Structure 1
Amino acid sequence: MAIATVNPATGETVETFTPYDDAAVEQRLALAEDAFTAFRLTSFDERAALLRRAADRLDADQEEIARTMTIEMGKPIGAARAEVAKCAKAMRWYADRAPGLLADEHPEAADVADSGASSVLVRYRPLGVVLAVMPWNFPLWQVVRFAAPALMAGNVGLLKHASNVPRTALALERVFREAGYPRGCFQTLLIGSKAVEGVIRDRRVAAVTLTGSEGAGRSVAAVAGDEVKKSVLELGGSDPFVVLPSADVAAAVKCAVTARVQNNGQSCIAAKRFIVHAEVYAAFTAAFADRMRELRVGDPLAEETEVGPLATRQGRADIEELVADAVARGAVAECGGARPEGLDDGWFYLPTVLTGVTPQMRIHHEEAFGPVATVYRAESLDEAVALANDTPFGLSSNVWTSDAAEQERCIRDIEAGGVFFNGMTASHPAFPFGGVKRSGYGRELSEHGIREFCNVTTVWRAR
């Protein structure tokens, strides 16, 4: 895939970039190694001051960066502005809290004495150069949620971004540079996917984090494992949205629409499978299809647009194939199921609701990365939980119920990295984010995320 900015609303190639050759990659690796040697010795106060300045730069450049993201991958402009603001918020959150999150830990006095030591502490030290392999769907947020904690811990970062968002990648590199970070602390590598293995294997790279497809995760994990290097993976999701009889159905429908079409339906944590109890199935499904049908599809730079194009031509083709397979096997498209009229130049697809989905259909098991929802009827809580878990993924989940016992049951039994009750799954710097099963391993954000790329060091002193 060429490294290029291609506007998905028009199909126009805006700019093409020449990939870095081996010499350019070597130069940046050497620079990263040198930067870490010095940056690891900086204080939390020094790192926090830099990160706050980076947040200020994001605030100042919000409109420019938002437009860049929208032109590169098609998210509605309002959502793009919100993404920039969220990144600045996360930077300030880590700048404020990293000293406490990485403070020395002191074991119980009795355990220290039992070990024969006069004192014991646990210290968090940076690992070194961390490579981030990032996707296009949240081209700023996905990077910042790695970069902010990694830099506050004293690591330095190399970014291999998706090939269709090079301008966003370079914009973030510029933000860190203009914030005053020492040269080499954060660098973008304009390289193709085939060059990633060589970077992971380089002795100067200590760890790798990837957000992306299951296939990409397998490849990166295999190389990192072969090199015995730390890796964190956040992969696909096919999150359930469970609606039980005690739910506020109107509120659930309103949230369901946003949860499915956020980022044009291209979000790993977007609700994708709507599992609705028989008692409220008819009311929920009819209202949900009506609301999805009413969404405004169009130019993502227009303020009134609610759903923009798919980011790539192939992405739309994948969605079309999944829907066609389901309909051919008996599913019903309650709305959508086609390209919109009058938007022939871009990669648009109508918000779609499918009912009558069965395990024989591809969409039952595969992630639908676009504005397509599948709705299932469940006769009981047991059946709803079984359907929720009938997926190879386990990123997050949404459950609508006011019953405390049902909530406890879902916390216990739903196989996911998160359970969100009566609201939509969202990431926040204070809470750990990640999944189980084929959604990956490790955690981002919170104290768990900042500690992923630290050397957890036991310091034992004898009497």
Structure 2
Amino acid sequence: MSNSVKTINPATGKVIREFETISDQQLQDKIEKTHEAFLDWKQRSFDERGALIRKVGDLLVENQDRLSKLITEEMGKPINQAPGELQLCQGICHYSADNAASFLADEERDLPGGRALVSHQPIGVIFGIQPWNFPFYQVIRYTIANLMAGNTVLLKHAPNVWGCAEALEDIFREAGMPENVFNVLYIQEDQASQVTEHKRVRGVTFTGSAATGRKIAAAAGEHLKKTVLELGSNDAFLVLEDADIDKAVDACVTGRINNNGQTCVAAKRFVVVDAVYEQFRDAYLAKMKQVEFGDPSDENTQLGPIAREDLRDNLHAQVKESIEKGATCLTGGEVPDREGYFYPVTVLENVTPGMPAYDGELFGPVASLIRAKDEADAIRIANDSVYGLGGGIFSEDEKRAERLARDHFDTGMVSINGYYIAQPNLPFGGVKDSGYGREHGGFGMREFVNSKSLMIAQ
């Protein structure tokens, strides 16, 4: 087996850099050093941790031009979208630094014949296995919450964005973070099990596919270690009879092509009630046809390449299978004859159960149009999925949409009359095959702590 990993520019198919992986012994040493760093870090005050965390966020934005180019080069994100990812990271850093002390404060509880305290204490080294699609945000999302809680962090990042992982290490160092509080592991896939089973590692968090999530949860469970899993989804966006169609079309185009369609909470299935189906379809198709792929380093590009060749080929196979099973391709659906891993905006109609476009997750700019009889049928179709991460509802009756979202939509997050992704102050996570556990909004800070009962007799 080769001891090196190549990063490849998906817009050209050309190698950017080659990284050497570390040995098993070096890996063991890294884990031990991260544990040793925990013994000091856990004793630092929220104010001290917070000042360093705020500095990390500020440095990410101060360096956003350089880091944006790196994101675009390694995973193909349009350059005009990259600063937004780094600004979100800053928002997470500031929110966590400002609120950790209140989220993790000791709580007084009643106790017969005495008094009681509940204290939320850090537990140790947390291992994060993260994907490439938001190479800075995905790491910041779990790292910052855990560092503010007093844990230390190991990162196994996706190999195609190791340059971003390296840049994050540099930012943490520049911010003055103590050595080994945040450590990147440049390891082969088969070395990850050594981290999960190590006695110093107390929790595992993973973002990626449901299939891999099952394996990681099983491996961690064998060692009685808690996991947080943020897995895939095929989010349904419902367009009801009283929807503002122009508003719905704009949001649904953005929700499908943002980040080249490679977002776990992207709008993927568009469930439209019969009364407005043709109106929505025609307007949506017209707007999607205007989106052209191009050089992601060009500020005017709306759609860049798929991040890897195998991912592009898998996406195309899902489209072809859906068409073979009866879906109609209204635009796109062909692999372009050019360098790089590009895939055109694709809109599929007559999408039904049994097709990848209905049942699976299409990680790229492919939209599935599904006709529903009425509102009740639309909710049934939305919930007819093994996934449950995000979703959306378009209706001018805001209270009705709110009731549907709250009481009937079986998913972790719902956008109403718009398209939103992660917010630092709101819980992020899903249900069913989209995983379990929550990040952001203070919830992530309590995932890997020991909520300890102190019972004091009076």
Short-chain TM bin: over 0.9
In structure 2, the CA distance between the partners of 1:325 and 1:127, relative to structure 1 (3 Å rule), is: same
Task: State the 1:406 CA deviation.
Answer: 4.6
* 3-state SS of paired residue (2:58): helix
One of 40, 55, 63 as aligned partner of 1:61: 63
Task: State the 1:275 CA deviation.
Answer: 0.1
TM-score by length of 1: 0.96
Task: State the 1:155 CA deviation.
Answer: 0.6
One of 290, 293, 296 as aligned partner of 1:300: 296
Moved over 6 A (4+): none
- The equivalent residue for 1:51 is 53
Aligned AA for 2:150? G
Aligned AA for 1:103? A
One of 378, 383, 390 as aligned partner of 1:389: 383
Confirm or deny that 1:230 pairs with 2:226: yes
Which shows bigger deviation, 418-427 or 369-378? 418-427
What are the Cα deviations for residues 395-453 of structure 1, in whole angstroms up to 9, with x where unaligned? 01101112333531342121101122111131111000100000000001112111101
What are the Cα deviations for residues 200-243 of structure 1, in whole angstroms up to 9, with x where unaligned? 10001010100011121111100110101111000001000000
Contact (CA 8 Å) 1:397, 1:425: kept in 2 or not?
Answer: no
One of 311, 314, 321 as aligned partner of 1:315: 311
- The equivalent residue for 2:5 is 3
Which shows bigger deviation, 153-162 or 418-427? 418-427
Aligned AA for 1:168? C
Instruction: Please list, as runs of the form range in 1=range in 2, the aligned pairs for 1:263-412 lying within 5 A after superposition.
Output: 263-340=259-336, 344-403=338-397, 404-412=399-407
One of 119, 126, 145 as aligned partner of 2:122: 126
* 3-state SS of paired residue (1:346): coil
Instruction: Please list, as runs of the form range in 1=range in 2, the aligned pairs for 1:376-455 lying within 5 A after superposition.
Output: 376-403=370-397, 404-455=399-450
One of 74, 77, 80 as aligned partner of 1:78: 80
* 3-state SS of paired residue (1:394): coil
Aligned AA for 2:137? W
* 3-state SS of paired residue (1:78): coil
Which shows bigger deviation, 326-335 or 437-446? 326-335
Contact (CA 8 Å) 2:326, 2:350: kept in 1 or not?
Answer: yes
Contact (CA 8 Å) 1:298, 1:307: kept in 2 or not?
Answer: yes
Aligned-pair identity in percent equals: 42
Aligned AA for 2:376? D
Task: State the 1:3 CA deviation.
Answer: 2.6
Instruction: Please list, as runs of the form range in 1=range in 2, the aligned pairs for 1:230-269 lying within 5 A after superposition.
Output: 230-269=226-265
- The equivalent residue for 2:216 is 220
Which shows bigger deviation, 366-375 or 61-70? 61-70
Whole-angstrom distance in 2 between the partners of 1:104 and 1:455: 12
TM-score by length of 2: 0.97
One of 87, 90, 97 as aligned partner of 1:88: 90
Contact (CA 8 Å) 1:270, 1:425: kept in 2 or not?
Answer: no
One of 161, 176, 181 as aligned partner of 1:180: 176
* 3-state SS of paired residue (1:165): helix
Whole-angstrom distance in 1 between the partners of 2:437 and 2:378: 27
Contact (CA 8 Å) 1:69, 1:75: kept in 2 or not?
Answer: yes
Give the gaps of 5 or more residues in structure 2: none
Whole-angstrom distance in 2 between the partners of 1:211 and 1:128: 20
Contact (CA 8 Å) 2:130, 2:207: kept in 1 or not?
Answer: yes
Whole-angstrom distance in 2 between the partners of 1:228 and 1:239: 32
Whole-angstrom distance in 2 between the partners of 1:356 and 1:32: 53
Give the gaps of 5 or more residues in structure 1: none
Which shows bigger deviation, 309-318 or 191-200? 191-200
Which shows bigger deviation, 331-340 or 287-296? 331-340
- The equivalent residue for 1:30 is 32
Contact (CA 8 Å) 2:122, 2:448: kept in 1 or not?
Answer: yes
Instruction: Please list, as runs of the form range in 1=range in 2, the aligned pairs for 1:82-121 lying within 5 A after superposition.
Output: 82-107=84-109, 111-112=110-111, 115-117=112-114, 119-121=115-117
Task: State the 1:183 CA deviation.
Answer: 0.7
Contact (CA 8 Å) 1:396, 1:425: kept in 2 or not?
Answer: no
- The equivalent residue for 1:40 is 42
Whole-angstrom distance in 1 between the partners of 2:103 and 2:205: 20
What are the Cα deviations for residues 339-382 of structure 1, in whole angstroms up to 9, with x where unaligned? 346xx110001111100112132221110000000001111111
* 3-state SS of paired residue (2:107): coil
Aligned AA for 2:10? P
